[in-house]
Amino acid sequence: MSVPERPTTSPPDPRPPSGSPDSADGARPPSSRSEATRLLCAGVYFDGQFRRRVIQELVEHEERPIAPSHGFDALPVLAHALRARRREAETGLVLLVCWVVFIALGLAGVGSETVLPLPWWLAYAAVCVVAWMARGARSSPFALGRSVIKEATRGRLKAVLPVLPFVFALVYWAAVLYTLFLGADAWTAVVFPLLLVPPVWAHRQYVVTAMRHRLSREAFAAAPYPKLPATGPYPRIGAAIAREQHAQLVIYDPFRPFVGAGEPYKPWSVAMELKGKNWSADEEADGAGAADGAPRPKVSFRKPEAAPAPLTGREVVELIKPRLEALRTSAAATSRDRLRSLEVDELVYLPVGLPRNDVDYSPEVVRDHLERAVGEGAEARRHFLRVRVGAWDEQVAICLLVRIHTQGGMLVLEVAPHVLTPVRPEFKAVDVIAAQGGDDRLRDAVRALLTSPSAGFAAGLSLCQTVVSVFRTWLAMPEYALPDAPMASVRQLGSVKEISLFQEMDLSRYVKTLQDRIATGVQEALRSKGYETGAFEQYIINVGEGGVFIGGMSGGAVAAGERASAKHVDGTKKETGGVLG
């Protein structure tokens, strides 16, 4: 039976699907123009470990669907990661050839007379290793930002380590000059370290060009949509990412269900019995005076109203959506608040089971899942109303996942806010490079000369890692591996763990505002169907004050404040509950 399509409540999206034929000709989906996307694309050039994690998650584990891409597009990030890896591997191969020739001539004794107790190639290798250690294991071999001290260092070593490369280099070149002063044949000790500079300089020029002409703010907004390589598994991977990253169908693992949504932020839930309105009391004056002369009220009771109509999860969802839409409209009309770009849509979470390419993302199948899953309260297939606000140029985003079901005479409301933290600040070096303006080849050449020792060692290491990655992917054939759910999100891999005080204040405001609208919608749904709302109203008040519900609500026992508890006694039956502030 066909299910009629419901109109979406999210802002209209005029883009073609990411990776579709329409987007391949240069058109770019709006999410690919976000600030988060731009900084993540730049980050794959600055941080080798981040680049490797992106490729590992999206290419080496092709059996895993991609996590939902909230506020960014993962395809440009992967495209730039593959470009950076390929260019770095090519540069590393050239440097490796230079090293092989250097070592071969040293072993053959050609132009390698030395006053040191070890050959020149081994002495310069020590200089390169120490320089690489000072840069830090996280940095790219050709990173353009400030050097990173290795994370494992502590105490005094942390202060001494940055000086060691200069000391080792000074000792090496002093020994070379002394050897030449003695008239010894040591030309290889001079020529080959200098031969390592041009490949490093060429790579730096490539990265600077990418930062200025493809990833600056102006260039990124106008650049064509990046494409993945047209050979190997990449067309298949690109099509799968485009199909999954913004879909309303999400594959999850029970032990990591909300990958991509961010870090949990004060989740809460309520489960209460759906009860019709009880006997109601009418007060009338009986004319008899009380002790103070006031008339004594006469109380009469009316029978309970008819049994209320059944309440469905779809009805609750449809009452919540307009209130959220109104919030978006009012914010757009009266302020520049980020609530004006609030997004509301529905998702269905399905447990991992089918192979990745066998999951059907067609609109008809997704609509059918949405209609069947809402309100059913199943353990595996779960329906969520997603409410999302992207703030601070998509540097911080709040995502509320709301689940409602009304099975078994119970109303269960689950609200799971999640926060995406800012992209790592060192990725903003792209703006520093872009702002430097014209090409300064002399300055770049000097920088290449100073960074070539560490780049020489890191190039070989990066080349080896690339070879291992390609070989491991070829050997494992991940497209035929057992189905799996997303393990990590590209957005979260490139994010910091902390947020500022202003960002925390904004997030708290967004969450409280959205929770108020959600609670109002649920309350209206209960009232319109003739159910009691008193217990729900009391609970929402406690949640608004920062409490977290513990226990059952059916007896109406509610308390607020630190270590507060409440007890409801009904005959011999006792129910307890509490709210911790």
As a three-state string, the secondary structure of 432-493 is HHHHCCCCCHHHHHHHHHHHHHHHHHHHHHHHHHHHHHHHHHHHHCHHHCCCCCCCCCHHHH
User: Sorting pLDDT into bands at 50, 70 and 90, what band is 1?
Assistant: very low
DSSP 392-422: TTTTEEEEEEEEEE-GGGEEEEEEEEEEEPP
Structure tokens given for 378: 């199943």
User: Sorting pLDDT into bands at 50, 70 and 90, what band is 394?
Assistant: confident
**CB of 427 closer than 8 Å to CB of 43:** yes
Distance of CA 129 to the CA centre of its chain: 34
User: Sorting pLDDT into bands at 50, 70 and 90, what band is 19?
Assistant: very low
User: For residues 509 and 216, what is the distance between their CA atoms, to the nearest angstrom?
Assistant: 32
Angle of helix 188-195 relative to helix 164-181, nearest 10 degrees? 140
Q: What is the tens place of the pLDDT at every residue in 290-324?
A: 445 555 555 444 445 556 777 888 888 888 888 88
- Find the mean pLDDT for residues 145-151: 39
Q: What pLDDT does residue 26 have?
A: 43
Phi then psi dihedrals of residue 396, to 5 deg: -130, 135
- Find the mean pLDDT for residues 204-228: 89
- Find the mean pLDDT for residues 535-542: 70
**pLDDT score of 201 more than 80:** yes
Choose among 337, 262, 340: nearest CA to 499: 262
**CB of 88 closer than 8 Å to CB of 141:** yes
- Find the mean pLDDT for residues 167-175: 84
**pLDDT score of 11 more than 70:** no
Q: What pLDDT does residue 56 have?
A: 94
Q: What pLDDT does residue 365 have?
A: 93
* CA distances, 416 to each of 53, 476, 479 (Å): 27, 37, 33
User: Quick one: CA dihedral 393, 394, 397, 402, positive or negative?
Assistant: positive
Strand 343-351, strand 249-252: pairing: parallel
Stronger pLDDT, 76 or 376, i.e. the higher one: 76
Coil, strand or helix at 390: strand
Q: Which amino acid is at 332?
A: A
Q: What pLDDT does residue 228 have?
A: 92
Domain 263-274+311-420+498-529 sits in CATH at 3.30.310
Domain locations along the chain: 31-246+425-477, 263-274+311-420+498-529, 279-304, 532-581
